[in-house]
Amino acid sequence: MAGGLKEVRERIKSVINTQQITKAMKMVSAAKLRKAQGAIVQVRPYADRLNRMLSNILSNIDGSASTSFGKARDVKQVLIVVVTSNRGLCGAFNTNICKEAVAAIQEKYGKQRRDGNVTVLFIGKKGYDYFRRRFQDLNYITDHIYIYDNPAYENVSTVSRVLMDEFSNGKYDAVDLVYGRFKNAATQLPTAEQWLPVPKMEKGNTEKRADYIFEPDQQELLETLVPSILQLAFHKTLLDTQASEHGARMTAMDKATENAEELLKNLKINYNKARQEAITTELGEIVGGAAALEGA
């Protein structure tokens, strides 16, 4: 019985130590979330508005003005950019993003996959870990995995500029982004979006088509404006994913702390029961020994 009590005490000590770690991780994630949430809240309205404006412009472009980033062509070569975190302990956050990417490949680019023409570029280590264990028929680019840890606009724009050049040169016919869209601390939405070519406004869209006045001229503005908007949209996916990661980790650590508290409660009840049994047994042995001595 003493051995059992010692084992329960060790388990209680272990759970307390784990609970302290989960509490600390929750506090750290909460602090990081405030900063990341502030960044995405500031950028998202601006980026979304620019994207709508770009889509509107390309839907109403006229004359000889054009941009290669808005030209749809037969899709033979596909690039999927998967943005995940470098670390785990954030629930199913990374797995959900990867599943969204797999669904996009299977549903949208099944033919290209069968032809071996689907390439996946990873930003964040967890996405690569997920894919390399499960899919051997895809082409992988891992040069930019660790840019996730330093998502400054200067670093991210270098990658987006390269991808834009490769699209213009015909290396890829379509580029999609898959990332975690931040809604709030408890909700993160795995999202797949077409980045290139720039989606045009659908005919049934009720949003008013703007009649823009271009100055100095339409072509010069497109050559300057379109790359800037695309790079900002690419950067936004990293900011979204980082805020989502910290929210998911904070929620996961909060739940882990609650589970540890519940486990501690049960372990303490079991410990008290075992201790009471041991005391009762010892008292019984003492009483029995005393009775035997009196009888002698």
Would you name the residues annotated as active-site residues? Answer: 90
**Whose CA is closest to 153, among 228, 83, 94, 84?**
228
- Which among 64, 46, 56, 49 has a CA at the least distance from the CA of 200? 56
Residue 198 burial (10 A CB sphere; 0-12, 13-18, 19+): buried
Residue 16 has which token pair? 């307390």
Q: How many whole angstroms from its chain centre is CA 102? A: 14
Which residues are CB-neighbours of 249 under 8 A, at least 6 positions away? Answer: 25, 26, 29, 89, 90, 91, 93
**DSSP for residue 36:** H
The angle formed by the CA atoms of residues 56, 61 and 63, to the nearest 5 degrees, is 170
